């Protein structure tokens, strides 16, 4: 069976790996001209996550590039510490740069899977026999199945399931990340400063020091391709903040890249329609705090396993995939529900409350434990050898 996967980040290549191992023929189409760089760290934090990576044969490669996590210090205007989170809080049991993860997964799969970079699906037409797919750059092709693994703002979901507004819930915050050339490295730590409804932090990134900001906001209308407009929007949101904010915001002017997005959650009532299904963030993403990376690799294992178990019958397989994964993925997503409010509490009272709670080692340990429980909340089915 020929299976087209849209997206070559985490869910796409993971799914391609399992599909190829189970005798299917995957093709991955990625809109970026090559593997995307871009530097934030993602983490794995449970036996379930690590077991899948080990079964895929990538755990050692990832251990070789793990960042080790870093503590997060929250400071006041003068730089004095208000509280600190231990490295495992943000870094889990294995933390790697998302770009390293995508590279390792691509290396593991490229010999057995077809990759098409710099292209995107423009239309999907389902027939009795398959899905006719039109692309922006390549000639049309027909596949037996199509899987959208193209992230929270999924193209496949928009084409096959309807507009994003019906499937993505805004959680009241935006985030932004950019590089600050020439800034003094901060070492293995991330330092964050809050004012009500706003947070700005610095940490060492791939290309120098990175600034990362989170701010409370309704849905913002802007053109994703208009860098200048996004810079203005972020600068306005952070205007007048104390600590190092002015210096960090000033660096926005010269930034050639800015990652800016809403903090949102995918809410998709059914993950498949006919021969088309969703995986990873496209189906069950939450921008931050939702353990989307671990869920993406677990989901890929389950989806390919169910397709093999059903002998390629997509109706049976897609139903079983969702039944097996939905509760687990939803629970993980719930961890991201309050990520914005945790990082940038909306009022001075809530900020003080959060700080007081986080100074309690018992409370921090409880939060960590709750995350671990969510991340491990699935009994991995055995789909047999492959």
Ligand X SMILES: Cc1cc2nc3c(=O)[nH]c(=O)nc-3n(C[C@H](O)[C@H](O)[C@H](O)COP(=O)(O)OP(=O)(O)OC[C@H]3O[C@@H](n4cnc5c(N)ncnc54)[C@H](O)[C@@H]3O)c2cc1C
Q: CB nearer to ligand X: give 103 or 231.
A: 103
- Secondary structure class of 14 (helix, strand, coil): helix
What burial letters (b/e) apply to 152-174, b meaning 16+ CB within 10 Å? bbbbbbbbbbeeeeebbeebbbb
* Least distance CB 8 / ligand X (angstroms): 5
* Least distance CB 373 / ligand X (angstroms): 15
Q: CB nearer to ligand X: give 163 or 385.
A: 163
What burial letters (b/e) apply to 82-118, b meaning 16+ CB within 10 Å? bbbbebbbbbbbbbbbbbbbbbbbbebbeeebbbbee
**75 token code pair:** 């400071």
* Least distance CB 97 / ligand X (angstroms): 10
* Least distance CB 384 / ligand X (angstroms): 26
* Least distance CB 336 / ligand X (angstroms): 9
Q: CB nearer to ligand X: give 205 or 345.
A: 205
Would you say 283 and 299 are in contact if contact means Cβ atoms under 8 Å apart?
yes
**225 token code pair:** 């391709």
Neighbour tally for 309: CB within 10 Å: 17
Residue 177 β-bridge partners? 212, 259
Would you say 26 and 312 are in contact if contact means Cβ atoms under 8 Å apart?
no
Q: CB nearer to ligand X: give 245 or 283.
A: 283
Q: Which residue has its beta carbon closest to ligand X? A: 292
Q: CB nearer to ligand X: give 190 or 194.
A: 190
DSSP for 142-174 reads EESEEEE-S-TT-HHHHHHH--GGGTEEEEEEE
* Least distance CB 385 / ligand X (angstroms): 26
Residue 204 β-bridge partners? 209
* Least distance CB 128 / ligand X (angstroms): 26
Would you say 267 and 167 are in contact if contact means Cβ atoms under 8 Å apart?
yes
Neighbour order of strands in the sheet with 81-85:
81-85, 72-75, 190-195, 198-205, 208-216, 168-180, 259-266
* Least distance CB 104 / ligand X (angstroms): 13
Q: CB nearer to ligand X: give 308 or 339.
A: 339
Q: CB nearer to ligand X: give 76 or 373.
A: 373
Would you say 159 and 149 are in contact if contact means Cβ atoms under 8 Å apart?
no
Would you say 284 and 267 are in contact if contact means Cβ atoms under 8 Å apart?
no
Give the closest residue to 302 by CA, choosing from 95, 97, 55, 94. Answer: 55
Q: CB nearer to ligand X: give 197 or 294.
A: 294
Distance CA 133, CA 190 (A): 44
The secondary structure element, H or E, covering residue 210 is strand 208-216
Contacts to ligand X by CB under 6 A: 6-12, 29-32, 36, 40, 42-43, 98, 120, 149-151, 155, 175, 280-281, 285, 287-288, 291-294, 296
Q: CB nearer to ligand X: give 8 or 358.
A: 8
* Least distance CB 349 / ligand X (angstroms): 27
* Least distance CB 76 / ligand X (angstroms): 24
Q: CB nearer to ligand X: give 137 or 352.
A: 137
């Amino acid at each position: 069976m020929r299976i087209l996967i849209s997206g070559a980040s985490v869910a796409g290549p993971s799914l391609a790996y399992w599909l190829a191992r189970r005798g299917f023929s995957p093709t991955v189409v990625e809109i970026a001209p090559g593997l995307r760089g871009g530097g934030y760290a993602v983490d794995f934090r449970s036996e379930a996550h690590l077991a899948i990576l080990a079964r895929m044969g990538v755990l050692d490669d990832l251990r070789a590039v793990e960042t080790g996590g870093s503590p997060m210090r929250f400071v006041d205007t003068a730089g004095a510490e208000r509280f600190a989170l231990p490295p495992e809080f943000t870094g889990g049991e294995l933390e790697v740069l998302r770009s390293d993860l995508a590279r390792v997964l691509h290396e593991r799969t490229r010999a057995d899977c077809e990759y098409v970079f710099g292209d995107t699906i423009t239309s999907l037409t389902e027939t009795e026999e398959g899905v006719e797919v039109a692309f922006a750059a390549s000639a049309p092709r027909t596949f037996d199945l199509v899987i959208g693994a193209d992230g929270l703002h999924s193209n496949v979901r928009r084409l096959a399931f309807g507009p994003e507004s019906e499937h993505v819930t805004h959680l009241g915050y935006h985030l932004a990340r950019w590089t600050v050339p020439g800034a003094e490295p901060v070492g293995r730590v991330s330092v964050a400063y809050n004012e009500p409804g706003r947070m700005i932090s610095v940490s060492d990134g791939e290309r120098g020091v990175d600034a990362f900001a989170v701010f409370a906001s309704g849905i913002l209308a802007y053109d994703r391709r208009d860098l200048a407009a996004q810079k203005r929007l972020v600068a306005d949101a952070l205007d007048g903040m104390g600590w190092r904010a002015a210096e960090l915001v000033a660096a926005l002017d010269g930034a050639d890249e800015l990652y800016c997005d809403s903090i949102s959650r995918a809410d998709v009532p059914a993950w498949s329609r006919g021969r088309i299904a969703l995986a990873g963030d496209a189906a069950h993403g939450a921008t931050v705090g939702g353990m989307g990376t671990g869920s993406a690799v677990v989901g890929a294992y389950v989806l390919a396993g169910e397709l093999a178990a059903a002998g390629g019958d997509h109706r049976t397989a897609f139903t079983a995939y969702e039944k097996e994964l939905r509760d687990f993925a939803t629970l993980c997503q719930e961890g991201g529900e309050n990520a914005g409010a945790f990082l940038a509490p909306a009022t001075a009272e809530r900020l003080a409350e959060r700080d007081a709670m986080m100074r309690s080692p018992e409370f921090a340990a409880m939060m960590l434990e709750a995350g671990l429980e969510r991340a491990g909340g699935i009994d991995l089915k055995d789909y047999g050898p492959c």
